[in-house]
Amino acid sequence: MNQYSVLVVGMGKRGVHHANAFHANPRFKVVGICDIDQKRLDDAAPKLGKPEKSLDAAALAKKLRPDLFCFCTLPNLRRDFIKLGIQCGAKLIAFEKPVAMTSHEGLQIKQALDQSRVKAVVSHQHRYGEHYKKVKEIIASGALGRVHTVYGTATGWAAHMLSHLLDYTCWFNDYADAEWVMAQAAGRGKLSDLHTSTDYISGVVHFKNGVRGVYDCGAGAPDVPEVPYWWRKCRIGAQGSEGFAEVMTGGGWRAVTKSGGYQDGPGGMDYNHDMPPYIQQMADWLDDDKQVHPCCFANAYKGFEIMAAFYRSVSEGGQIALPLTSGADEISLLKNKVPSKKVILTLAESAKEYPS
Ligand SMILES: NC(=O)c1ccc[n+]([C@@H]2O[C@H](COP(=O)([O-])OP(=O)(O)OC[C@H]3O[C@@H](n4cnc5c(N)ncnc54)[C@H](O)[C@@H]3O)[C@@H](O)[C@H]2O)c1
């Protein structure tokens, strides 16, 4: 079996998670790591088999020409690293959610990947949690009858969490195309964060298969009292004519179905559990074009497009048809549109994240 060489750019929290998981998998060899912070490089390298280190991603990528180019930088850095991955001859580019901050950039990334035919995956790895898999299994079994609604809520703001809510609900809905969306937003605090978004956004999606998506993300989202950890207060599920099934990111799953009655079970989001299969499926896809990675760019792009369309709906008002055919700078649109009224919090403990 081939061993695939890997360069990981960004040695922050997620870059280290990725690099560790590549290093632990015999199908990969971490040949290079990059960060603009020398200390992060020096701390990480000894645990990764002492790969080559550099402060300059472009120089290292062109020197090493890795099979797999991975970057885990904050969301303001996407398009140029996609271009670098393509230029250095990588067969697969792995990067972090969100796909991009604006549809202008997202469309450019999509065009570059489509033209080059380089494979790409986006890290929506929560789906490997046992509780997520159980909910998907119940939905796919038909036990909910005719699925008419998928939904997701999170207390964290959109640039962090909406990408996850959208990806897993699209997965529950077999990645059916969306036809239109409509959304509203409040709170300007996080418009100056590097994970740039409004403090709160709420929106609906009409999918072409008739399923309705309902999303609530940020300061005004409902509590998930079963989950104490603020960042994991996410409830993601599906309702059908004969029941519902839902996962709570930090605290198990539950379902009620006509044939099975009430059921629940354990599970909690855990990077150590979720990263190894996410990484292994990159090797599987590199080995065999037919084993398309479940976190492939095409799937992630569906959620990204919905997110950008939500932002446009906030800015323009009314429904926004999908697919988006031209790019826009949705962050500037939000900055121009969202009123300066203070966001109303659902949870008192959210005040530390939404102080303004
Ligand atoms: N999938 C998930 O579960 C999950 C969880 C947390 C964060 N994320 C996402 O991961 C991404 C990274 O988040 P993080 O928490 O690891 O951030 P981080 O700030 O911990 O790490 C980012 C790293 O990138 C480095 N960097 C910045 N510019 C660089 C450049 N030009 N070249 C090389 N390195 C550069 C920084 O020095 C830093 O070490 C974000 O998009 C975030 O939304 C995903």
- Closest CA relative to residue 112, chosen from 309, 302, 297, 300: 297
DSSP 52-67: EEES-HHHHHHHH--S
Ligand 1 atom closest to Cα of residue 126: 3
Average pLDDT value for the chain: 97
Protein residue with least CA distance to atom 26, ligand 1? 10
Any bridge partners for residue 149, and if so which? 212, 239
3-state secondary structure of 296: strand
What is the chain's pLDDT, residue by residue, as a tens digit (356 residues)? Answer: 789 999 999 999 999 999 999 999 999 999 999 999 999 999 999 999 999 999 999 999 999 999 999 999 999 999 999 999 999 999 999 999 999 999 999 999 999 999 999 999 999 999 999 999 999 999 999 999 999 999 999 999 999 999 999 999 999 999 999 999 999 999 999 999 999 999 999 999 999 999 999 999 999 999 999 999 999 999 999 999 999 999 999 999 999 999 999 999 999 999 999 999 999 999 999 999 999 999 999 999 999 999 999 999 999 999 999 999 999 999 999 999 999 999 999 999 999 999 86
Q: Residues 115-118: contacts with CB within 8 Å, 24+ apart?
A: 116/86, 118/85, 118/86, 118/90, 118/91, 118/92, 118/93
Ligand 1 atom closest to Cα of residue 271: 3
What is the model's pLDDT at position 356?
66
DSSP H helix total and E strand total for the chain: 10, 15
Protein residue with least CA distance to atom 1, ligand 1? 123
Residues framing ligand 1 (Cβ under 6 A): 9-15, 34-37, 40, 57, 72-75, 77, 96-97, 123, 125, 160, 195
**Residue 26 burial (C-beta neighbours within 10 Å; 0-12, 13-18, 19+):** exposed
DSSP 81-113: HHHHHHHTT-SEEEEPSSS-SSHHHHHHHHHHH
Name the residue of 7, 9, 11, 14 whose CB sits within 8 Å of the most ligand 1 atoms, as the mutation to test its pocket. Answer: 14
pTM for this structure? Answer: 0.97
Q: How far apart are the CA of 95 and the centre of ligand 1, in A?
A: 10
Rg (CA), the chain: 20
For the sheet with 243-248, list strands across it. 261-265, 253-257, 243-248, 234-240, 147-154, 212-218, 200-207, 178-186, 320-321
CA 217, chain centre distance (Å):
14
Give the Å distances, CA to CA, from 214 to 170, 181, 204, 226. 11, 10, 5, 21
HSE of 29 in the Cβ direction (CA atoms, 13 Å)? Answer: 12
Phi and psi at residue 249, to the nearest 5°: -50, -45
Protein residue with least CA distance to atom 15, ligand 1? 13
